[in-house]
């Protein structure tokens, strides 16, 4: 009988820090979804990385910020009847979203500096963490230019920038989670389980499905064809390839974007269900067996949420939950893959 592995307290400390940052990113994704769905994302027309940490503190400052907002396309074309109190309602959500982003930046960079100085993180390991830091910074910059895209001519952000913003958040979350799991669960064998590669392929399919959902969100494509399984009265709605060149339909045509996400979501669910069924006979380690079952349960929940969100024409609570469970589904899939990485066979 093998002896239990004793974890290095320094590695445990780093893992706890990374998991805390994962929790903050998860909260950022949820709050970002609320901000987008409530039409609050374009309310802060000023970009002040330092002074912007403080909200307006006087009536005069509130009026100044509101006057700036009045010059934006969103106010002119969408919210022209909004008063100052209404503006405050949408301002606070975007303010909290940006404040949480700043908090996350400090929560990652300051402990990273401490761990490097204390030599908890070696120079050989440092590039991994610097990559996380760089990607987190890039995600914030993408958020800035995403918001700017909706404050020039039209009151809508670029769907491409929104998808890039969301993808960067999911990617940095995945990097931090994978590293934390590696620190907490050292390898138990010298080679990967035979199902590790196909689990990674499943994660790739899940990632493509999540990206397609980002385009649905960016184009507000969930507000059309609120029926299931058909799209209106058709299995294939008209105009799927109406745009030229043809590739634009997959990122700019509302009907095509929604159809693609439906198809990918159903395909992903079928693949996960099949994976779970076959995995029961594959002799998974206990942790992986539990994770595969959790993956199936989470996928069922996500499908129910997705269909409900569509049928009810994208209510905010359901849509935000659907986005949050997408990240939860990715979390379970990553845990499953990690449990098969150099797992006892």
Assess if residue 1 is contained within a domain: no
List the single range of 2-11, 54-63, 150-159 with lowest mean pLDDT. Answer: 2-11
pLDDT, one tens digit per residue, over 199-213 is 999 999 999 999 999
Residue 1 pLDDT level (bands cut at 50, 70, 90):
very low
pLDDT, one tens digit per residue, over 252-272 is 999 999 999 999 999 999 999
Residue 3: the pLDDT is: 45
Residue 189: the pLDDT is: 66
Distance CA 12, CA 18 (A): 10
Q: State whether 218 and 312 are in the same domain.
A: yes
List the single range of 5-19, 38-52, 129-143 with lowest mean pLDDT. Answer: 38-52
Q: Mean pLDDT throughout 296-303?
A: 98
Q: State whether 210 and 268 are in the same domain.
A: yes
Assess if residue 329 is contained within a domain: yes
Q: State whether 213 and 302 are in the same domain.
A: yes
pLDDT, one tens digit per residue, over 93-110 is 889 998 999 999 999 999
Q: State whether 182 and 193 are in the same domain.
A: no
Assess if residue 242 is contained within a domain: yes
User: Is the pLDDT at 2 greater than 50, yes or no?
Assistant: no
Strand partners, 231: 234
Q: State whether 176 and 225 are in the same domain.
A: no
Q: State whether 265 and 122 are in the same domain.
A: no
Which of 147, 164, 186 marks a domain boundary? 186
Q: State whether 167 and 300 are in the same domain.
A: no
Q: State whether 327 and 206 are in the same domain.
A: yes
Q: State whether 179 and 31 are in the same domain.
A: yes
Q: Mean pLDDT throughout 164-173?
A: 95
Q: State whether 169 and 300 are in the same domain.
A: no
Q: How many domains does the chain have?
A: 2
Assess if residue 141 is contained within a domain: yes
Q: State whether 236 and 289 are in the same domain.
A: yes
- DSSP string computed for 95-152: HHHHHHHHHHHHHHHHHHHHHHHTTSS-TTTHHHHHHHHHHHHHHHHHHHHHHHHTSS
Residue 75: the pLDDT is: 87
- The domain in which residue 32 lies consists of 7-186
Residue 247: the pLDDT is: 95
Mean pLDDT of the chain: 91
pTM greater than 0.95 (yes/no): no
Q: State whether 148 and 248 are in the same domain.
A: no
Residue 345: the pLDDT is: 47
């Amino acid at each position: 009988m093998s002896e239990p592995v004793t974890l290095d307290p320094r590695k445990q400390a780093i893992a706890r820090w990374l998991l805390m940052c994962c929790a903050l990113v998860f909260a950022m994704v949820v709050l970002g979804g609320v901000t987008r769905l409530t039409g609050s994302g374009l309310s802060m027309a000023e970009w002040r990385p330092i002074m912007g940490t403080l909200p307006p503190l006087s009536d005069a400052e509130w009026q100044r910020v509101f006057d700036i907002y009045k010059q934006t396309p969103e106010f002119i074309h969408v919210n022209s009847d909004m008063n100052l109190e209404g503006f405050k309602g949408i301002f606070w959500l975007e303010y909290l979203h940006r404040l949480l982003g700043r908090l996350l930046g400090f929560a990652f960079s300051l402990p990273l500096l401490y761990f490097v100085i204390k030599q908890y993180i070696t120079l050989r390991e440092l590039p991994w963490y610097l990559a996380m830091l760089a990607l987190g910074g890039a995600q914030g910059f993408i958020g800035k230019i995403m918001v700017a895209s909706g404050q020039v001519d039209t009151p809508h952000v670029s769907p491409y920038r929104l998808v890039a913003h969301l993808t960067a958040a999911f990617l940095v979350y995945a990097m931090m989670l994978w590293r934390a799991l590696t620190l907490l669960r050292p390898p138990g064998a010298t080679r990967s389980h035979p199902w590790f590669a196909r689990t990674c392929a499943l994660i790739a399919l899940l990632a493509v499905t999540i990206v397609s959902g980002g385009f649905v969100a960016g184009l507000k494509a969930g507000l059309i064809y609120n029926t299931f399984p058909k799209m209106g009265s058709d299995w294939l709605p008209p105009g799927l390839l109406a745009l030229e060149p043809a590739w634009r339909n997959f990122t700019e045509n509302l009907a095509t974007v929604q159809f693609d996400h439906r198809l990918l979501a159903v395909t992903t669910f079928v693949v996960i269900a099949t994976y779970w069924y076959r995995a029961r006979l594959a002799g998974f380690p206990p942790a992986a067996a539990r994770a595969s079952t959790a993956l199936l349960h989470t996928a069922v929940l996500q499908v129910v949420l997705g269909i409900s969100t569509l049928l009810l024409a994208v209510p905010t609570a359901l849509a935000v939950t659907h986005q949050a469970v997408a990240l939860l589904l990715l979390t379970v899939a990553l845990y499953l893959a990690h449990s098969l990485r150099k797992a006892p066979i």
